[in-house]
């Protein structure tokens, strides 16, 4: 999924990309999202900002679920959640947010059905063998 970074966030991430010698801005964003998700302290807040016109980045699939959950819990979309998390992380506010690491499972209420036992019936005598064949002849 592609998202658009805010100009200030993109400039900060571009500075980190150049410092780390990454080839793509998307790779740097995915590294930062891993750092946020797993609570790594990369100490990147002191790096300089470099203006960039590239603000669209592609998020790895592994980030979509938890970013979606994070945004949903705050009433924002994935792009806004990405910008918020990265800007807070780079500002050094790593303790001000919680990221859900597990997927929440919504349980459906179980429908209780009543099973009525089938009452045994009288066996019906059925013709067998030659008697069956005679009854089938026209």
In whole angstroms, what is the distance from residue 73 CA to residue 115 CA?
41
Burial class (CB within 10 angstroms; exposed 0-12, middle 13-18, buried 19+) of 42: middle
Q: What percent of the chain has pLDDT over 70?
A: 72
Q: What is the pLDDT of residue 101?
A: 47
Number of domains in the chain: 1
Residue burial 81-93, b: 16+ Cβ < 10 Å; e: rest: bbbbbbbebbeee
Residue 84 inside a domain? The answer is: yes
Let me know if residue 130 belongs to a domain: no
- Region 71-76: mean pLDDT is 91
Q: Are 10 and 3 in contact (CB under 8 A)?
A: no
Q: Specify if 136 maps to a domain.
A: no
In a 10 Å sphere around its CB, with 0-12 CB exposed, 13-18 middle and 19+ buried, how is residue 58 labelled?
middle
Contact between residue 66 and residue 37 where contact means Cβ atoms under 8 Å apart: yes
pLDDT at residue 10, rounded to an integer: 92
Q: Could you list the residue range(s) of the whole structural domain that residue 51 is in?
A: 2-90
Average pLDDT score over the chain = 80
* CATH label of the domain that carries residue 33: 1.10.1220
- Is residue 30 one of the residues assigned to a domain? yes
Q: Is the pLDDT of residue 43 over 80?
A: no
pLDDT of residue 81: 92
Quick one: pLDDT at residue 105?
Answer: 47
Over residues 87-129, the pLDDT tens digits come to 888 887 765 455 554 444 455 566 666 666 666 666 667 667 7
- 129 belongs to a structural domain: no
Q: Residue 47 falls within a domain, yes or no?
A: yes
68 part of a folded domain: yes
In a domain, 21, yes or no: yes
Residue 49 pLDDT grade (very low, low, confident, very high; cuts 50, 70, 90): confident
pLDDT greater at residue 47 or residue 69: 69
Q: What is the pLDDT of residue 48?
A: 77
Least confident of 22-26, 32-36, 122-126: 122-126
């Amino acid at each position: 999924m592609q998202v658009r970074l805010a100009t200030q966030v993109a400039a900060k991430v571009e500075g980190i990309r150049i410092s780390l010698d990454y080839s793509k801005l998307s790779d740097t964003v995915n590294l930062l999202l891993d750092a946020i998700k797993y609570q790594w302290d990369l100490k990147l807040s002191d790096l300089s900002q470099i203006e960039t016109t590239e603000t669209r980045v592609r998020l790895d699939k592994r980030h979509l679920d938890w970013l979606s959950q994070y945004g949903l819990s705050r009433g924002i979309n994935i792009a806004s959640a990405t910008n918020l998390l990265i800007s807070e992380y780079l500002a050094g506010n790593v303790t001000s947010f919680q990221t859900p690491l597990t997927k929440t499972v919504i349980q459906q209420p179980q429908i209780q059905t009543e099973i009525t036992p089938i009452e045994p019936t009288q066996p019906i005598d059925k013709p067998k063998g030659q008697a069956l064949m005679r009854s089938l002849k026209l």
